Amino acid sequence: MEKSKYSRKNIKRGIRVFFFITIITITLILVFTVSEDTREELKLISPLFLLLTLLSTSLRFLFDIWRLRFIIKAMGKELSWLGAFHYTLGGLFLGGLTPMQVGGIPLQLYICRREGIPVPEGSAAIFTRGMLSAFVLPFLIPFMYLYRTHLTSGWVEGVVTYLVILYGVMTIFFLIILTRTTWITKHFRGKFVEGIVRFKEVFRREFIKRKSPFLKAYGMTWLSLAFYFLTAPLLLRGLGIKAPFLETTILQIVLTYAINFMPTPGASGFAEGGAYALFHHLMPRSVLGVYVILWRFFTGYVGIIVGGFALAKLFSTITGDEKVLDGAQGEDFSPLDNGNE
């Protein structure tokens, strides 16, 4: 079998690219923000709110793992807590090393097969997980427009419009495939189309029979994202900045969905730059760089670090990590799943 593009060599290359872009971006941000006032501003840090931010991040992971288990249960299968942990956190690690964060898919399919879940069902689970996160956005768009007067960053409305168009087109395409599957598959090819077709097949065969766990999975998606969206307001309070809760939450939501399709590994560079651009008006310039680093730590680096250890532990229990990553060759469709949401 041809060596997978997610081999150990390419994982190392992804790590180097991720660190290179991240370090360059953070260095530039610190150069333009750190001043003599930074030390005084840091004295206002509240350890309590930093701990609450860490707790919120942990609960985000917990509910993300829980929703995965409900998705699998809706298919009539079972996935252990340990398997779901490796699936979720290991996926975050590999996703953080690849553009648009799709690198965890082969690992996730391997874990599903390891626990007796066939590839079609595993593929549908990955796609479903991503689509559940995407289906939260339509309920948030009216909220963001309704409270846009609370935003002091004027161009955020333009970003919201971009998200409406992007996800609107994707939703229409999704619905067309579901309703005109035969015609679409005759004229179009690709892993994204295959993913929706598999989702449709599994939905008809399994999800409809088990509505309760499927709806619970959607509820867990809301809870996971809710704790993710709390990162910005909690962290700002942790830095002693009394920014408007509503505005910081909306900005967190906008940035979360905007960086999902960035072309760099783990959206590195774009995530830091986006946080700098969206939140700069809420705090003194002297503390902005510190905020961006901490925000990125809680929203991205924690999952990648824990996922790296989880993946190393998983590989230590099996022989040949190349086989793990090669096991899903040809299954690397983009399921709209960034591993966060």
Top mean-pLDDT range of 224-238, 255-269, 312-326: 224-238
- In this structure, the dihedral spanned by the alpha carbons of residues 73, 77, 82 and 87, taken in order and rounded to 10 degrees, is -80
pTM of the model: 0.81
Q: Evaluate whether 75 touches 202 at the Cβ level (below 8 Å).
A: yes
pLDDT value at position 297?
Answer: 93
Instruction: Give 203-255 pLDDT, tens digit per residue.
Output: 776 667 778 888 999 999 999 999 999 999 999 999 989 888 888 888 898 88
Round to whole Å and give the CA distance between 341 and 57: 12
Residue 61 has pLDDT above 80, yes or no: yes
pLDDT value at position 4?
Answer: 45
Q: Can you name the residues that pair with 99 across neighbouring β-strands? A: 265
Provide the token pair at 338: 């960034």
- For the chain, percent of residues with pLDDT exceeding 70: 79
Task: Give 195's pLDDT tier (boundaries 50, 70, 90).
Answer: low
Q: Can you name the residues that pair with 265 across neighbouring β-strands? A: 99
**Tokens 């399994």 sit on residue:** 206
Write down the number of H helices and E strands in the chain. 18, 0
Burial 93-125 (b: 16+ CB within 10 A, else e): bbbbbbbbbbbbbbbbbbbbebbebebebbbbb
pLDDT value at position 149?
Answer: 62
pLDDT value at position 159?
Answer: 73
Provide the token pair at 65: 């793992």
